[in-house]
Structure 1
Amino acid sequence: MYEKRLNNGLKIVEYPIDNAQSIEIGLYIKAGARYENKGDNGITHLLEHMHFRQLGNMKQKEIYEYAEKMGSTLRGTTYKEMLCFNIKVRPKYLKKSLNLFEKIITTYEWTEEQLKSEKKVVISEIREKEDNNENQKIIDRVIWNKHPLSNSILGNASNIKRITLQKLVQYKKKIFCKDNMLLVITGAINEEEIIWINKKFEAIAINECLQKINSNNMNDGQFKRKHNYLMKNYPEWNLINMQLIFDVDLKQIKENELLFFNSIVGGGDGSYLQQEIRDKRGMVYDIYSYGEIFSDKAVWSIVYSIEKDQLYLSLNVIVKMLKMLKTVISQEDIEKNMPFFTENLWYWTEGTKELNFQLGNDFIKNKIGLTINERIKENEKINYERMQKVAEIILKNKNMSLIAMGPIKGR
């Protein structure tokens, strides 16, 4: 793995993969709902869209055709803490595809008409997803209280309408700066190509980060919730959607430890939750858990849907199981799940996309980017005593919140 900060300040990571048949290119920028305030929430997502209206002298149709002639698609995605652009190409299209990323970094000119048209697209997307977004907003507010992580990625229609072209360009200049973005190239590249890539992107003028990006760091006061439960009655629903949420302090628990714990408890078909609630008792069609991890905080959730008359029984069974986890996690659990965190990481070299995204995500979270071998060594340090300790740290009443949505009344 080659990691370098070019003379113009741009940070770049190149990760050659032997025998790879493709190259994944990703540009990762610290931006998104976490870095937005109430008045401009949604601006990052709108900015993402504008890059598909025009890149340099290439109009929308030309951008699509340029990628299609390489047998690929340029992708843009906005997350809570990250804006990214990605493309996957055959090795012979490396230089051609990198032209798109040069244009993404250097394009600051759009027309009022283009902005007006793209606002309509974004507002249509917001309205199309309005019902689901409304429930997600409720869930996010319970989880993140008033912290900007509770902001919607898409924003709202009134915000989008108010964003001017000048404000959008100023915002791009603010976030597309030296210390705030990373270019990652993984796959079938060699040393000669790496030298060429570095020279190409070193010639680009990169903005200084004149204004510090507001990180909106999470403190304990923001993370604690006024209420640790939410019940919303939807009498027309057939099932009750349940979500049990636990706060996770990343100062006490490493990201890979949380992911390993999740795999044991509810992340796979052979997990404790799947075996007990679905396979043994047949109470639900599906039950799973997942971790939502950000730069300084994380939450771990259990999610399932259930018939109303099974609700209290399911909660009793789950709570009893969670209490037992502090002592029942065994060496057998470690051995069963370890391949997902060791051998399976080598699958990243087949697709190139997963590794590229992980390196970009590490940068966003201010973590050191690790090679696959280094990640495996970190995961191999995990043992059952540590997993029992992780269970003890996470599974406390003060850390838990509960959300129930469906045909439910009262408490």
Structure 2
Amino acid sequence: MTNLSIHKSILGNAIRVVTKNIPHAQTISMGVWVNVGARDESADENGLSHFIEHMIFKGTASRTAYQIAKELDAIGGQANAFTAMEHSCFYARFYHTHLDTIISILFDILLSSTFDPIEIDRERQVILQELRMMEDDPDDYANYLLGKAYWGNHSMGRSILGDRERIESFDSKTILAYFRERYSPDKIVIALAGKVDHDSVVERMEKAFGKVRNQGNTIKRKKPVPISEKIFHYRDQEQVQVCLGGKGYPLKATEKYIFTILNIILGGNMSSLLFQEIRERNALAYSVYSSPLMFSDCGMQNIYMGLEPSKVNEALRLVRQTLDNIIHKELAESTLLEAKEYAKATIQLSEESINNQMVRLGQNELFYGRYIPIYEILKNIECITPADIQSMAQDILHMDKMAMAFLGPIDEDSVTV
């Protein structure tokens, strides 16, 4: 690694430890990143990774859930976890003198969580409430429907949360077996950013985690094949949420930087083409945006808007018109320059956060096996030309090939796309 403040070591059991020392910092952000997510679950396992996320702080062989919370509060530490399609993360933020306490807690929960049946039944109700909250949130649920419309029956098309039937079926034995099989050292990256000394951290990690052995299992991910269907989900509400999903690019694709810049231009900020056309000039929607979704072996172009049922067809006509314009007309240099500056500023601003730096460390190692320095990202952005944008648009922005999801008081006969 060329950045002298960033170091990487591999423990004897294949756990990777990546650190970034930030001289002015007095705190540390630490994340345990695991290369296991919702897409690695079978249909019957759907929701298990997320269930484990909830249970991980609910008690070990030596600590109750209350004792874990009490220890964290006693040092002013903040800890949480999240589950994504392709990874899970357990993280903490704390004052640098409390590193040993945090390592002790994380070591305990990752190696000795009991998944107590009583705690499982209690947390099951919390997860069911979270599922209801997601289903009640129009934006979230519409994007879930888009995943189904684009990925079909592949695990990428399922909810990270799982469904009611699965959530209600998981027991301690099932959860513990899945956890022990999947959350093995070779899938783990431990990332720390802040006031850290790499050699000292590695010594501590080797002592805490070094004796954990691999189970010898591997996860073979099957690349999804998009089906690009249309889904209409009737719901009695004021608005219709409309989501469009088209071809995208995976994280390791050389086109990922062009994909990002294209989406800034298309619907990534307030001066973007869709925001100006749909909201500012025609007042059809309050919320309209596009975003690039990228995963290890696949990606999706996402467009979202929420509007009155009577305005859906006009909005779709303008979306098609906007996409066709990008496909057929070369982008102005000034528009591209503004998008580049927006991207570069966003990246630099994110580096002001110690937590964001830890996230970049962990994700870079998990996704790419190396740290990607800022200058490399900026260089790749700077090289993008108007012809690159148009060429990508011609490849992915054909509305007739996109999956679509409609949530609200509308049916298929009402939509003329």
Contact 2:78 2:92 in 1 (8 A): yes
Q: Does residue 1:261 correspond to 2:262, yes or no?
A: yes
CA deviation after TM superposition for structure 1 residue 319, in Å? 0.9
Mapped contact 2:13–2:214 kept (Cα < 8 A)? no
Name the % identity.
Answer: 21
Give matches, 1:327-406, under 5 Å. 327-366=329-368, 368-397=370-399, 399-406=401-408
Report the counterpart of residue 155 of structure 2 in structure 1.
148
Counterparts of 1:128 and 1:286, CA distance in 2 = 20
Q: Is the 1:26–1:185 Cα contact (8 Å) retained in structure 2?
A: yes
- CA shift, 1:403, in A, is 2.2
* 1:199 paired residue number: 203
SS in 1 for 2:363: helix
Check whether the contact 1:73–1:88 (CA below 8 A) recurs between aligned residues.
Answer: yes
Q: Confirm or deny: 8 A CA contact 1:20 1:350 kept in the other structure.
A: no
Instruction: For 1:223, give the aligned amino acid.
Output: P
Q: TM-score scaled to structure 2, two decimals? A: 0.88
Cα deviations by residue, 1:108-146 (Å, 9 ceiling, x for unpaired)? 434333333333333343345444576555332112111
Superposition pairs for residues 11-410 of structure 1, below 5 Å? 11-132=16-137, 137-189=144-196, 193-203=197-207, 204=209, 205-218=211-224, 222-225=225-228, 227=229, 229-234=230-235, 236-250=236-250, 254-326=255-327, 327-366=329-368, 368-397=370-399, 399-409=401-411, 410=413
Per-residue deviation, 1:397: 4.3
Distance change >3 Å, CA 207–CA 216, structure 1 → 2: farther
Change (3 A) 1:123 1:304: closer
| Structure 1 residue 395: Cα displacement | 1.1
Determine the C-alpha separation between the residues in 1 that align with 2:253 and 2:65. Answer: 47
Letter in 1 for 2:47: G
Secondary structure at 1:71's aligned position in 2? coil
> In 2 relative to 1, CA 382–260 (structure 1 residues): closer, same or farther, beyond 3 Å?
same
**TM-score scaled to structure 1, two decimals?**
0.90
CA distance in 1, matches of 2:62, 2:94: 22
Deviations 1:10-38 (A, max 9, x none): 11111122423432101111222201111
Find the aligned partners of 1:115 and 1:321 in 2 and give their Cα distance: 49
8 Å contact from structure 1 (residues 10, 206) kept in 2: no
Q: What is the CA deviation profile of residues 72-122 of structure 1, one whole-angstrom value per residue up to 9, with x for unaligned ones? A: 321011112111111112323333322222223322434333333333333
By how many angstroms is 1:175 displaced? 2.0
Q: Contact 2:288–2:306 at 8 Å: present in 1 too?
A: yes
Deviates more, 1:24-33 or 1:330-339: 330-339
Secondary structure of 1:214's partner? coil
Asked whether the equivalents of residues 38 and 47 of structure 2 are also in contact (C-alpha less than 8 Å), the reply is yes
The 2-side partners of 1:252 and 1:44 are apart by 27
Q: 1:159 to 1:344 in 2, by over 3 A?
A: closer
Q: Can you give the 5+ residue segments of structure 1 that lack an aligned partner in the other structure?
A: none
| Aligned-residue RMSD, C-alpha | 2.3
Instruction: Decide whether the 8 Å contact of 1:123 with 1:160 is kept in 2.
Output: yes
Aligned length in residues: 402
